[in-house]
Amino acid sequence: MSDAISTFFDAWQLENNKQRLDHITNSTTADICYSDPRTPEALSGINALNEYVGMFSNNAPGWSASVVKNNASNGMNLVTVAFSGNGPDGKMQTQYGQYFIEMEGELIARMVGFVGTGEPE
């Protein structure tokens, strides 16, 4: 598994802006391109991505994002991520997402995320 991918998703649980920015800076290219179902259009650059990830940590305090599976081939990764934390009822919840992640050397250059894992519900 790419250390950059794990470092990036570790940033999702950081409420401290500088720590989160450091994680994202150390795991992505300067012109990172990111999109998922919650972004109205693709985000470009570390600062835009840091703001977006910060919304997650602000809106879901105590939640974490962790890589549970990574299939890599020729600079492309298919990554399953578990987003976990206490729901409004106080019970632990986990939601899964999948990402296609394109690497440039050791850093993430492009990410496209999807809700769920593609399995029938």
**What are the DSSP calls for 67-80, one per residue?**
EEEEEEETTEEEEE
Using a pLDDT cut of 70, give the percent of the chain over it: 97
Residue 29 has pLDDT above 90, yes or no: yes
The answer, as to whether pTM is greater than 0.85, is yes
Phi-psi bin for 106: left (phi > 0), alpha (psi -120 to 50), beta? Answer: alpha
Q: What is the pLDDT of residue 1?
A: 44
Give the tokens for residue 32: 């990172």
Domains and their CATH numbers in the chain: 3-115 (3.10.450.50)
Which whole number is the average pLDDT over 95-118?
A: 93
* 8 A C-beta contact, residue 107 and residue 28: yes
**For the segment 54-101, what is each residue's pLDDT rounded down to a tens digit?**
998 888 888 999 999 999 998 899 999 999 999 889 899 999 999 999
Q: What pLDDT, on a 0 to 100 scale, did the predictor assign at position 95?
A: 93
Cβ atoms of residues 76 and 101 within 8 Å? yes
User: Across the chain, what does the average pLDDT equal?
Assistant: 92
